[in-house]
Structure 1
């Protein structure tokens, strides 16, 4: 999660307020300490991407807590559908940071009782959110990458949704996101840039299942 610093500066009875650019969490305390050396910083708050405000004392506690929880979360998802067998394959890849280390979760599955490729895409995204819940992701921004314009545009509210089955998925996804306090950022991708999730979805259709969770190099 990124942060901003807002502070008040006082000189000869005159006050001015300043705000930093967005910073990664590790930059916040060193910058505050450097600003405090001048002795004219009268008040300071730290603001996160969800617009919550923290005093320096509160942020120091939060800093330790955030190290122990998943952050910098990015999700890639994809769904495929075989019309002949009426079977859907879904693929999910999640990257995140925890305790200063970078992790990757890869998962796929084969689903029945779906009716189209678009519905498979919705199911893939929903399963990705279930995986986020299992990882303990909550009250942080999450970037969702997918190559389905239909799913991402309907979730962002840019496109209307008239299909009842899609509306049911939308309701389930939005409810789960709200329950977890996630701030979603939906980013459409070209299919060529969604190869990991696409491969997992295709493997699921071929009954080749993957479920891995591992530390990765930066």
Structure 2
């Protein structure tokens, strides 16, 4: 989660000025707010999230404390593959996250049928990956999603419209899941080399090689 601050500063002679920060990670905001509490010239502070909901410092501390035991700093890589001659698809995802001051990497894939195209497989892979976050208990935070499908990343971020009915179906399902988990998603398009692990998992699914593992990094 990222937050921004509105700050009112007053000089010893009574001149006041208001300052507004950019959005920053919650941890950085908490440190700054705690430091400014010690400065008597900071007469008013306000913490706001991306929905313009105001947070108190006490609430922010509680949120950061909760993050110590829940999965956070989530980075998700997804990829889908499609075999036109068989109508089979392979979905692969890699989830990097932190929990209890340790780093983890989850790898999982799945073979599915009844998809119509490679683009649909790419959308299905993203839904598959987001659904796994629910199993991990990732809720009410900002996550990063990476994929080598420019179509999926641009359409899910709202930069491109979705015209195909089957792709709109997956986009809506994924958005519903994101809302259910209270997530804010940053979508980033990467090249295939940067997404090779998820790509390999999707290929293994097509070969009926099932992968489901979580390791500490």
Per the normalisation by structure 1, the TM-score is 0.88
Match of residue 162 from structure 1: 163
Deviations 1:146-167 (A, max 9, x none): 1112222222233333322112
The CA deviation at 1:32 is 2.9
**Distance apart, 1:17 and its partner CA:** 2.1
Q: 1:154 to 1:34 in 2, by over 3 A?
A: closer
> In 1, are the aligned partners of 2:144 and 2:185 still within 8 Å (CA)?
yes
Q: State the distance in 1 between where 2:21 and 2:160 align.
A: 35
Structure-to-structure mapping, 1:24-39, within 5 angstroms? 24-39=25-40
- Are residues 129 and 147 of structure 1, via their aligned partners in 2, closer, same or farther at CA, if it must alter by over 3 Å? same
Cross-structure match for 1:42: 43
Stretch deviating more after TM superposition (197-206 or 5-14): 5-14
Name the CA distance, whole Å, in 1 between partners of 2:148 and 2:123.
12
Q: What does residue 97 of structure 1 align with?
A: 98
The number of residues matched between the two structures is 216
- Structure 1 residue 35, shift from structure 2 partner: 2.6
| 1:136 has 2:123 as partner | no
- Counterparts of 1:189-204 in structure 2, within 5 Å, are 189-204=190-205
Q: How does 1:83-94 map to 2 (within 5 A)?
A: 83-94=84-95
1:58 aligned partner: 59
> CA deviation digits over 1:114-172, x for unaligned, max 9?
12111111110110111011111122122211111222222223333332211211221
Compute the RMSD of aligned alpha carbons.
2.0
